[in-house]
Chain A
């Protein structure tokens, strides 16, 4: 399989290349997000493995590159590696669909597990670091409990059949703020945009079921 690696540290780039070559993969390694884009455009690989923090800003360039690559090529498998994992990053990646992975860099050291994970992602699977999953499970909260008190107020008013404008007047906030809360409610209740569902009704139903 052809793999494109984006990693700015020479040390880790070589380590990754060595491991993947050993398992018979054809590796192209680049050092930043722009080069990653170019490499994918030139010849779409079987999977992209990218670091999060890369030049020029050394912030989340790699993650943003992963997201934009997914937007351009929705079926391109991407495995994101990072020195630390954050749930919010995982959520962003998961929203782009299957064939996605998000792992701590040291998982690469468990070579066989890592290569298995790489194959899973390449074949459309989803691999999320156990640390992220642990923190998700640790919350063990029902979707309703994830709402902030303000979001709960908004949802209650939604259940009374009020429009966003009316809710904004009731709570003495801007309508934009209400729209933000509503969006956040949909996210926390796992209500995604689908052509067949009315999310506002589904959110209210969740409230009524009390789960």
Chain B
């Protein structure tokens, strides 16, 4: 549910005179009393479906008709979402999806499988029961207030107002007192009916309306799961390469080494050198996929290792310990990309990497500035966004260039 208070409740909290003469009591009244009408229409439809279904049960068609009973809630829900607008200006979209295939049969199957249909059916049943309240409350308020308000007129015409056996009003003074009570009942009734409408609307919203916020959270959770799976996959590939190709190449290099001892030859030397170069390339590749040191020793040591490999001197200042693996990995690749860019473009003579709890990662250089976010930085932004993080690149002409990444996380 949305967090903002619906206008209806705010209207009730206002000055009573303004509330009574506003359109809210009338809207609420209309909303409440039309509810049972819709419910009755639905019950009539349900009865027809039940009778037809049961009558046809000997034939298989009857069971099909009965199975379609929940679908009767669809038009009711559509009407209810429309009625909701009378007292709740917020949009009330349905959360039904479009069927996967065309055709009536496909549509029916799809709807019956949708949880939304069953929620709507449940709402229809509830509304049929609560319809009694919707009738009784306004009826009591109207009858109770109008009779008492009419008391002075009744008494003047020689009639009387009976509250029950032995308790009657026939004196004019008493009659005016009763009229006053009637006015109070009317006022209280207006509040009661409006509150009832508010509660019914909240119920309708909770069951019938798509909740964009909740869906957003679900989508986000799905994205994080996807990113985690991706991260796990990178580690798996790294390990597979380590256990497979890397080991075999190493074994080959050992065997070639032994062979060179027994049969020295230029060809063997070349094979040996090429195998070593292949392993070197494979090692770099594996490192780019997921550096083992990141898993073993965490972000701090891995970033220091990156800084050591950098062509230009890098100052490293890290004040965080171990973090969740996905966060460490995202932060690591931010630094890797940042330092690669510094080395490639900035003309800097020095760079600085700071990692602060929170998590804030900064790569700064003393270069000439004017850097544009390239595909690398955009890729980083996507990667970081999964964890609700942000990437900012500040690079005024003349420098310095600062790549700043914030990833919310307890550290």
List A residues at the B interface (Cβ < 8 Å). Answer: 9, 11-12, 15-16, 18-19, 22, 53, 58-60, 83-84, 86-88, 105-106, 108-112, 114, 135-136, 138-139, 141, 145, 148-150, 177
Contacts and interface: CB of A to CB of B under 8 A. Distances in A.
A61 to B, nearest CB: 10
9 closest Cβ pairs, A-B complex: A109-B253, A15-B254, A109-B257, A148-B317, A111-B257, A11-B251, A60-B296, A9-B247, A135-B308
B304 A83 contact: no
B292 A84 contact: yes
B109 interface: no
A12 B293 contact: no
Contacts of B253: 106, 108-109
Given A109-B276, A135-B309, A141-B313, A83 B296 contact: no
Question: Which of A22, A83, A145, A150 gathers most chain B CB within 10 Å?
Answer: A83
B383 interface: no
Contacts of B248: 11
Nearest to A181: B319
Q: How large is the interface on B (under 10, 10 to 19, 20 to 34, 35 or more residues)?
A: 35 or more
Nearest to A105: B250
A109 B275 CA distance: 10
- Interface of B, helix, strand, loop or mixed by DSSP: helix
B242 A109 contact: no
8 contacts: A9-B251, A84-B292, A86-B305, A87-B304, A88-B297, A106-B280, A108-B250, A141-B313
A79 B54 CA distance: 84
B178 to A, nearest CB: 74
Interface in B257-296: 257-258, 260-261, 272, 275-276, 279-280, 283, 286-287, 292-293, 295-296
A139 B239 contact: no
A180 B239 CA distance: 34
Given A109-B256, A109-B257, A138-B308, A150 B317 contact: yes
A59 B296 contact: yes
Given A111-B260, A149-B317, A12 B251 contact: yes
B82 interface: no
Contacts of A22: 258, 261
A27 to B, nearest CB: 14
Nearest to B273: A109
Given A109-B272, A139-B308, A83 B246 contact: yes
Given A59-B295, A105-B250, 10 more contacts: A12-B247, A19-B258, A53-B292, A60-B296, A86-B305, A108-B250, A108-B254, A136-B308, A139-B308, A145-B313
B254 A109 contact: yes
A177 B357 CA distance: 13
B296 A84 contact: no
Contacts of A11: 247-248, 251
B301 A88 contact: yes
A11 to B, nearest CB: 4
Contact of A148 (B255, B276, B283, B315): B315
A59 B322 CA distance: 15
Contact of A88 (B255, B276, B293, B313): B293
B243 interface: yes
A149 B254 CA distance: 46
Contact of B304 (A84, A88, A106, A149): A88
Nearest to A135: B308
Contacts of A105: 250
B161 interface: no
B316 interface: yes
Contacts of B239: 58
Contacts of B256: 109
B287 A83 contact: no
A16 B258 CA distance: 10
A88 B301 CA distance: 7
A86 B300 CA distance: 13
Contacts of B242: 53, 83
Nearest to B260: A111
A105 B300 CA distance: 25
B316 A9 contact: no
B283 A111 contact: no
Contact of B301 (A86, A148, A150): A86
Contacts of B296: 59-60
Nearest to A61: B296
Nearest to A83: B246
A87 B213 CA distance: 48
Question: Which of B255, B293, B296 gathers most chain A CB within 10 Å?
Answer: B296
B283 A18 contact: no
A19 B316 contact: no
Question: Which of A12, A15, A59 gathers most chain B CB within 10 Å?
Answer: A15
B254 A12 contact: yes
B125 to A, nearest CB: 55
Nearest to A7: B247
B308 A87 contact: yes
B111 to A, nearest CB: 50
A106 B253 CA distance: 7
Interface in B98-129: none
B286 to A, nearest CB: 8
A183 to B, nearest CB: 14
Contacts of A138: 308
Contacts of A53: 242, 292
B190 to A, nearest CB: 60
Nearest to B301: A88
A84 B296 CA distance: 12
B308 A106 contact: no
A111 B261 contact: yes
Nearest to A141: B313
